[in-house]
Amino acid sequence: MRQAFAAIASSITFPLKSAIVGLLAVALGLAATNPSAANSKYAAIVIDANTGKTLFSSSADSRRYPASLTKMMTLYLVFEAMAAGKITKKTSIPFSRNAAAEPPTKLGVKAGKSITAETAIYSLVTKSANDASTALAEYLGGSEAEFARMMTAKARKLGMKSTVFRNAHGLPDTAQFSTARDMAILGIALKEHYPQYYPYFSTRSFTYGRTRMANHNRLLGRVKGVDGIKTGYTRASGFNLVSSVSQGNRRIVAVVMGGTSGASRDNHMAELIQKYMPKASTKGKSAPLIASAGGSPFSALAKVFLPKHDAPTPEARPDEEIVVEAEAEGDITEEEAEAAAIDEDVAPTPTPKSVLVETLESAPVEQAYAQPSADRFGGDVDPVETASVDPSGWAIQVASLPNKSEADAFLAKTTKAAPAVLAHASGYTVTFDKGGVTYHRARFGGFGSKAAAWKACTALKSKKIDCYAVEN
């Protein structure tokens, strides 16, 4: 760009050339200090973590794609489960075919195998492993879709009013969005609510098997006081980063979204930290900034639980060896592979794609995830007969919903979306209780073997329908 300006300037007379070159220099300087000048994806915020005061803000309340910042909420729910004693660091996390099939970056665990919960945590905070994210979601939520509902419910309770989650990893979904402010809230909540687990975010690298995996966050060890939290990248989101920084008694959380490159994002974050850290309060906070996420109206939905039969049972568990490294790695290129490995075709700015997400910013989580009735599809949904008794053999579960009519509608919608796949299957619902609330599992039965059920499930996933196989 500078070379082009120089070529133009060389053909202009000296007085005029001097004036133009001066103006161009000013313009370039402004572009460097104001990333939003020519970047519609950009958003940023710096919050004093002692007082909650906003020290800097630019498009902080505008919708953006979170990319792998999504995994911050996945980890929040994992930490919640650990703190409640529902899982431990050694809990075995199985990988379904759905989890194993996630695109890079990933650990590469095969379907039917498992890893410990702690290995999964390390893989999320360093490598940003998509397969481990999905495995955790299926284990804690019973299904990836249900876990996403839990994530959104938790976001609402934390005060993240402009966030909707649709998956646990952050891979492209046009109905999944957040804001820089909401991500800052989550960053503060992670450190305030789970200080015993927060040090995971400072891990520079760890070794799984024979592979050493470095943290994508290059500011660890580079910028004084940075102790996490998370990077993220897809082509639609640009380069994202949430940073927690402590220097003496001063503490800030900063968010940069939509960077044009990893280096420019990191440099801009470093500039924000250098500029606004001295403006942060030195007085310690008298109370947490983010209210506890327990006891919300959606606690029955958001409460992390362990399904007893919903997750596929691993056939074997590989030998694991975790070595947490203290030394920082060099530049990381895998972050770019997170989107490069998939066929991504989404708009650069998140916008609702259907009536289901038009009012999500202010809607409670039940409304955000409400399934449409038949008439909302113009009366075009074929009815599906449901039964209260499971058919014999294997089944595939496609949803778990708090209302039977919603479960029936989901079965009808799925049947209409994949008639060939489900031609010989029977839709039905199964009830179960969780936290005193009755839920309805939406399933298709009639598969004679595990292989047949998984084959049908794989076909549904090719149509963007989450599912997994279960034996009746």
List, as residue ranges, the binding site for substrate.
230
Max Cα–Cα distance, the chain, nearest Å: 88
CA distance 229 to 188: 10
**CA end-to-end span of the chain:** 64
Q: Which residues are catalytic?
A: 68, 71, 128
Output the CA–CA distances (angstroms, integers) from residue 11 to 1, 25, 158, 269, in the order listed: 17, 18, 59, 38
Query: For residues 142 and 165, is the Cβ–Cβ distance under 8 A?
Result: no
Nearest alpha carbon to residue 71 among 201, 191, 196: 201
CA dihedral (22, 28, 31, 32) positive or negative: negative
- The annotated binding site is made up of 230
Q: H or E stretch including 55?
A: strand 54-58
Placement of tokens 């109370």 in the chain: 287
Letter string b/e over residues 354-367, b meaning 16 or more CB atoms within 10 A of that residue's CB: eebbeebbebebbe
**Could you give the 3-state DSSP secondary structure of residue 94?**
strand
CA distance 398 to 467: 4
